[in-house]
Structure 1
Amino acid sequence: MNEHDANLGDRDHMGLSLSLFRLLPFAVALSTALAAPAKAFENIDFNVRGDDGALEEKLRNASLLLATGENDVTDPRDLVATSLAEYERLLDTLYADGRYGAVIRIRIDGREAASIQSFAVPDRVGRITVDVRPGRRFHFGRAEIAPLAPGTRQIDAFRTGEPAYSTAVQDAVDTAIDDWRSAGRAKAAVRDQDLTANHANRLLNARIWLDPGPLVRFGKLRQTKRSYVRAEAIRRIAGLPTGEVFSPEELEAAAERLRRTGAFASVVMREAETLGPNNEMDVALTVADMKPRRYGFGAEISSLDGLGLTAFWLHRNLFGGAERFRIDGAVAGITPSLANLDVEIDARLDIPAAFGTDTDAFVMAEAQMLREPAYTAWAGEAGAGVHRYFSDTLEGEIGLGYSFSRVTDSQGTRNFNLVKVPAMITWDRRDDPLRPTRGFFLRADVEPFYEFANGPGVWGMLDARVYRGFGEDDRFVIAARGQVGTVVGPTPAQTQPDYLFYSGGGGTVRGQPYQSLNFPSGGGVIGGQAFIGGQFELRYKATDTIGVVGFFDVGYLGSTGFFGGTTALHSGAGIGLRYDTGLGPIRLDVAYPVTGGSPSPNPLRNVQLYIGIGHSF
């Protein structure tokens, strides 16, 4: 070390302690005492030398003293304590910007805050002045960290010639440690370090030596707190691979499996401090149970379709193995005449890890009374199947079911008996399912079936959604949804009406009456065997809670296929308001038909109003 160097001390992996740099020639004295709020103090002068506006903004945002005006602090003891804590707060910000030659002066009525003794605090404080001379930014001279895990390299920000941000040093260490942990070295840590600052050349030399530690294997999962979920079920659901090489990803996956059951309010896994025989590492598990029962209600209203009500009851731990049992009920089409009243009730039991890790089992039953514009039906269904989690974003389901329905439509009154194999897969890459601004969502459903009277067929549906935000904080979002569906096999007249497609209403084309796009048949109407739909929205977040939406929807039907037989098209457009409740937005849409349909001579009668919870897609 030459006369221009200063040793910056030691650190451990858990955090880069910026106080390690205190041997540098800063005119500061540090204290960590914090202030308790009283009332506003506004006589603060905050000055940053130089013309780096971005750095000044960072310092102002970090300042504890400037925050006293918001936190109502005036007591002299509190102001002195806050001033002492201000040194380190600003120093941390300067180091994060690579400024290792800064000078900070904090004066309380002309006296340096660091010189005020705790027993000599003034009776009153008139003015506080903060002066910061950031100095020039340092760059890395030597930037070395070793050894590194095979197949990895140190981060680009921690290299000779790069700006010497303290955060880059910490990031380099964290990344290197994480790489070793991913290679099975769970106890990798910093062994030694040498951090020196050369003020003459404005260089920071950093050399860090790591100790990878031994190759670690998973030990036992040890539950530290009792739960209403059986311990055996918890171990089965978590699926911690005892005896296999340690992996941080496997550890997090085990915790996530427990969280997604919905039975636990919190799941915490902690690695044992010491290793056991054969370098096995036990994992301590602490869970807190959710309340086992939950219920909820929802509502939607449309100016044409009337009121719709939904309710559910849920048990999160039905038999003590985190089994999830849910009953849903829905009533739609509530109008004065009740002519199009739909009633539905269904129940489903999900059994986690029934067929191994990440594979659940389910059984379900459903009953319906439907009074749709094209048909009425009494229907029941029962089935069972498996649900598989392939990753955090990809999951699928397949089952076997039987359904019976008695239908009255333009073809008369008929019974349908079906055996079917419904399958579904979803790929969800949205940044936020409730308020997406980026990403996409894909869901594909396919359902081969055999109808005892009319033979085999296949029904399928694809739902694709994409989101793209732009502007400051993604205040603008372009959202688009495409739907494609088809059914092949029986003729339209021989197909169960629930498998046919219609368009119009909130789920397809706003501005058009519910299921108004269909085809004439036998003195009534019937659905099509092919459907293409598109919904497009421009969303604007006007405030933190208020949003405005403009939208355009379009729907296309084919009577016997996408391009064969008769086809029909309609569209609608409108504007909407969103009010964010924190649990999702309340939605109000006003829409008007654009093309297709049979509009009323009175323009006001063509206006459709939709109120609901959550974005339309």
Structure 2
Amino acid sequence: MIALVFALSLATPGWAQPPASSNNAPTQAVDPAGDAAFDAALPPLDSVAPPPAPAAAAPAEPSVAPPAETDLAQPLPPLAGFDPTPDLGKAKVPSAEEARIRYSVKVEGLSKLGLEDEFRSVSELDAGKHKAANSAQVQARARDDVALAERLLRSEGYYDGVASSTVLPVPNQPGQVAATISVTPGPRYGFGQIAVTGAPPEPTAIARKALPLQTGAPIRAVQVEGGEAQVALALPQQGYPFAKVGQRDILLDDQSHTGDYSLPLDAGPRSSFGGLQTKIAKGTGGLNPRKKGKKAKPQKPQKPVDPKTMFSVEHLNVFPRFKRGDPYDSRKADDLRQALVATGIFSTVAVEPVDTHTQAADGSEIVDLMVTQRKGPWRTLSGSAGYGTGEGIKGEVSWTHRNIWAPEGALTIGLIGGTLEQGLNASFARSNAGQRDRTFAISGGFDHSNYDAYNAKTLNVGVNWSRQSTPIWQKRWTWTIGAQIIGTNEKGAALDPTGDRPRRNYLIAALPGQVLYDRSDDLLNPTKGYRLLARISPEASIRKGFKGYARMTGQATGYLPIGKSIVLAGRALMSSIQGASLDDIAPSRRIYVGGGGSVRGFGYQELGPKDAQNNPTGGLSSTELAVEARYRFGNFGIVPFFDAGRLGQTSTPGISHLRYGAGIGGRYYTNFGPLRVDVATPINRQPGESKIALYISIGQAF
């Protein structure tokens, strides 16, 4: 190229030379078409020789005519008779084993970032179990994994990171290939400036406090998304029910490897609670599937919902834990919804804020809550069963109509069947009676018990008021007060080794009451905290005269977690009957010790003094102690335990002459409580006591 330029510079034609000028005037462009010197410099056209003619081709030898195609001369077959199915009779189809190859997977660069486990959990190569039909399929999976690796890098702030893949045959191993995913993360980006925009100072400050992002910290997608979710939760909890979080913007600087984060926010008006509104939602009617070839069955018309059977605004006002004018808090609105769902009256309940477009005295917008009610199934059939040594097999079945007398008037009929106890009872309970979680109940029934300690046929009727904990709101203080009238015909202790046990009639009136202070963390399966219970029941017994006395019980339970899998649980109980002798009290109202909920290792009511026929007599006081270690792994658990107890014939509890039992139990944890199986034996067993005691029930022992 250099020589060519040089030659051109030497052979510049005259028309391209700049004209001479004495005064160095600027060069003027010359049109070659009108330049005589340019025409003279061109060679004459007649001196240009034409190109040589191509050589004549040799004469071709005479060709032989191809043989005639007789098949082509035949008429085409009609299309109607053409069979498009290919003949595979002679085709070689590779078997499944021949079509499959195996491959290994190697990941480079993610382990040091702590991302390899997450990568492999969703990897296409690993999901294929290292088998494929051919190399192309392995390469396709590798490409998907490259895209996955780059997404993971970006999610952790490595925005310049790149990934690549190779799929190569393994030498000397036919049918084997090696897939390698290589990752180069590059620099990690951190947060630069962090800003919440578009809202007044107060909600902006709330949002910024809820946003756990710090300048200089790595830009991680999970942290950003979690922080924005916290903002969306925090604002409705602090007076802004209509707040909307916009689309974030992160501006990256590839020089400083930082990203400026901004979050637009539409906070809406600051609001306070107003009143409640309600409406009834109609059912959707459900799906109406049909089998192939059959017509769909016509849907049954839905019965209209009677508004009188649902909750009025007056009854709804029992549930809120807020007052009109309180700052809006979405947690309290959700608590209202959960409490309504817990009644069992509704299939679903929606609680949504409604702007009334009016202002309170403090300038906040008044917001009502719209409660949308959708009727649910009101009838329930339930059952439970258990077994205990000395108690036998026992099962209970109950039928409940939760809204037979609206609102929340429930009728329950229960049946008890077992080897040693049978009964029938009914109760009417009005839930949330004038106050949330307060229940008024009337109950009555018949029970026949045939235990070693007594044989009783009992009629009872009672009434009680209670304030109880629920799974939604576990209260620290709960209480129950009531009244009972009991008529019972009972056989008590035997007076001699061979005679019949005397049968006596008792009429008993009682005023039972109970207070519980609960600082545990769970109603059904506590793992930490403690509970303190006090129970007292003043009673009067009429049998050949009037006799008054009081039955009292105090109990403390505690739960201490040890590590993540073990809970150390303990229980101490003392009970006493004051004001009467043992003979003045019906056998079924005395104190007994032993069984799955008492001192394990002994049969039901087995521990303590015996009569002339070796039957438990009951007592006037008791002491019970228990400790167990609850080890849980997944949905299963193992529980070794050690129990102690005594039954006294006087009214004063004590710790002398304690009896002991030890054993081990298994647990299967369900969403309604643990299924318990305990096996125990008494220590220093006495004649007539069980060698092995077995207990099967639902719920922990305490």
Q: Normalization by structure 1: what TM-score?
A: 0.73
Offset of residue 495 of structure 1: 4.1
Deviations along 1:173-214, one digit per CA (max 9) or x if unpaired, are: 333443332222112234685533344444343344544321
Alignment CA distance shift 1:409-1:310 (3 Å): same
Alignment CA distance shift 1:581-1:423 (3 Å): closer
Matches within 5 A, 1:220-299: 220-223=276-279, 225-226=281-282, 230=308, 232-233=310-311, 235=313, 236-237=315-316, 239=319, 243-244=324-325, 245-271=327-353, 276-278=357-359, 279-281=365-367, 283-299=369-385
What residue number does 1:142 align with? 193
Task: Return the alpha-carbon distance in structure 2 between the equivalents of residues 65 and 222 of structure 1.
Answer: 54
Offset of residue 483 of structure 1: 3.5
Query: 1:221, 1:283 within 8 Å by CA — same for their partners in 2?
Result: yes
Offset of residue 262 of structure 1: 2.1
What residue number does 2:608 align with? 518
Alignment pair present for 1:393 and 2:447: no
Deviations along 1:83-126, one digit per CA (max 9) or x if unpaired, are: 8876776556445544443324467999xxxxxxxxxxxxxxx9
Structure 2, unmatched stretches of 5+, are 1-99, 170-176, 283-304, 360-364, 496-501
Alignment CA distance shift 1:404-1:582 (3 Å): closer
SS of the residue corresponding to residue 167 of structure 1 reads: helix
Offset of residue 266 of structure 1: 3.4
Alignment pair present for 1:591 and 2:680: yes
Offset of residue 128 of structure 1: 6.9
Offset of residue 46 of structure 1: 5.5
Offset of residue 539 of structure 1: 4.0
Query: 2:110, 2:183 within 8 Å by CA — same for their partners in 1?
Result: no
Query: 1:355, 1:361 within 8 Å by CA — same for their partners in 2?
Result: no
Task: Return the alpha-carbon distance in structure 2 between the equivalents of residues 375 and 174 of structure 1.
Answer: 62
SS of the residue corresponding to residue 501 of structure 1 reads: coil
Matches within 5 A, 1:238-387: 239=319, 243-244=324-325, 245-271=327-353, 276-278=357-359, 279-281=365-367, 283-332=369-418, 334=419, 341-387=420-466
Offset of residue 259 of structure 1: 1.7
Matches within 5 A, 1:48-447: 48-49=108-109, 51-52=111-112, 54-63=114-123, 66-67=126-127, 69=129, 93-105=152-164, 130-145=181-196, 147=201, 154=209, 157-190=212-245, 194-208=249-263, 210-216=265-271, 217-218=273-274, 220-223=276-279, 225-226=281-282, 230=308, 232-233=310-311, 235=313, 236-237=315-316, 239=319, 243-244=324-325, 245-271=327-353, 276-278=357-359, 279-281=365-367, 283-332=369-418, 334=419, 341-388=420-467, 392-394=473-475, 396-406=478-488, 407-410=490-493, 413=504, 415-425=506-516, 427=518, 429-430=520-521, 433=524, 436=525, 438-440=527-529, 442=531, 444-447=533-536
Query: 2:540, 2:549 within 8 Å by CA — same for their partners in 1?
Result: yes
Query: 1:463, 1:484 within 8 Å by CA — same for their partners in 2?
Result: no
Alignment CA distance shift 1:223-1:79 (3 Å): farther
- Greater alpha carbon shift after TM alignment, 149-158 vs 544-553: 149-158
Letter of the aligned partner of 2:452 in structure 1?
Answer: P
Query: 1:196, 1:204 within 8 Å by CA — same for their partners in 2?
Result: yes
Alignment CA distance shift 1:231-1:76 (3 Å): farther
Deviations along 1:249-272, one digit per CA (max 9) or x if unpaired, are: 221111111122123343343445
Offset of residue 153 of structure 1: 7.0
SS of the residue corresponding to residue 510 of structure 1 reads: coil
Alignment pair present for 1:485 and 2:568: no
Query: 1:220, 1:281 within 8 Å by CA — same for their partners in 2?
Result: no
Query: 2:108, 2:182 within 8 Å by CA — same for their partners in 1?
Result: yes
Offset of residue 355 of structure 1: 0.7
Query: 2:196, 2:265 within 8 Å by CA — same for their partners in 1?
Result: yes
Task: Return the alpha-carbon distance in structure 2 between the equivalents of residues 495 and 483 of structure 1.
Answer: 21
Query: 1:537, 1:551 within 8 Å by CA — same for their partners in 2?
Result: yes
Task: Return the alpha-carbon distance in structure 2 between the equivalents of residues 423 and 510 of structure 1.
Answer: 25
Task: Return the alpha-carbon distance in structure 1 between the equivalents of residues 523 and 101 of structure 2.
Answer: 40
Letter of the aligned partner of 2:281 in structure 1?
Answer: K
Deviations along 1:444-491, one digit per CA (max 9) or x if unpaired, are: 2523424162235252343625263645xx3x4444444443444434
Alignment CA distance shift 1:580-1:243 (3 Å): closer
Query: 1:323, 1:351 within 8 Å by CA — same for their partners in 2?
Result: yes
Alignment pair present for 1:569 and 2:650: no
Deviations along 1:8-29, one digit per CA (max 9) or x if unpaired, are: xxxxxxxxxxxxxxxxxxxxxx
Letter of the aligned partner of 1:248 in structure 2?
Answer: S
Please, which of 569, 572, 596 is the counterpart of residue 506 of structure 1?
Answer: 596
- Greater alpha carbon shift after TM alignment, 145-154 vs 399-408: 145-154
Alignment CA distance shift 1:552-1:202 (3 Å): farther
Task: Return the alpha-carbon distance in structure 2 between the equivalents of residues 498 and 151 of structure 1.
Answer: 62
Query: 1:546, 1:578 within 8 Å by CA — same for their partners in 2?
Result: yes
Alignment CA distance shift 1:211-1:461 (3 Å): same
* Greater C-alpha Rg: 2
Task: Return the alpha-carbon distance in structure 1 between the equivalents of residues 127 and 409 of structure 2.
Answer: 49
Letter of the aligned partner of 1:350 in structure 2?
Answer: A
Query: 1:243, 1:280 within 8 Å by CA — same for their partners in 2?
Result: no
Task: Return the alpha-carbon distance in structure 1 between the equivalents of residues 518 and 421 of structure 2.
Answer: 31
Letter of the aligned partner of 1:58 in structure 2?
Answer: E
SS of the residue corresponding to residue 527 of structure 1 reads: coil
Alignment CA distance shift 1:270-1:66 (3 Å): farther
Offset of residue 606 of structure 1: 1.0
Offset of residue 364 of structure 1: 1.9
Query: 1:264, 1:290 within 8 Å by CA — same for their partners in 2?
Result: yes
Q: CA RMSD in A?
A: 4.4
Offset of residue 415 of structure 1: 1.7
Offset of residue 141 of structure 1: 3.5
Alignment CA distance shift 1:426-1:416 (3 Å): farther
Deviations along 1:354-390, one digit per CA (max 9) or x if unpaired, are: 2134433322224322333333333333233333357
What residue number does 1:37 align with? none
Task: Return the alpha-carbon distance in structure 2 between the equivalents of residues 350 and 284 of structure 1.
Answer: 28
Task: Return the alpha-carbon distance in structure 2 between the equivalents of residues 349 and 532 of structure 1.
Answer: 35
Structure with the greater relative contact order (CA < 8 A, sep ≥ 6): 1 or 2? 1
- Greater alpha carbon shift after TM alignment, 92-101 vs 348-357: 92-101
Query: 1:142, 1:160 within 8 Å by CA — same for their partners in 2?
Result: yes
Alignment CA distance shift 1:184-1:84 (3 Å): farther
- Greater alpha carbon shift after TM alignment, 489-498 vs 445-454: 489-498
Task: Return the alpha-carbon distance in structure 1 between the equivalents of residues 262 and 112 of structure 2.
Answer: 30
Alignment CA distance shift 1:374-1:184 (3 Å): same
What residue number does 1:29 align with? none
Letter of the aligned partner of 1:206 in structure 2?
Answer: Y
Query: 2:104, 2:179 within 8 Å by CA — same for their partners in 1?
Result: yes
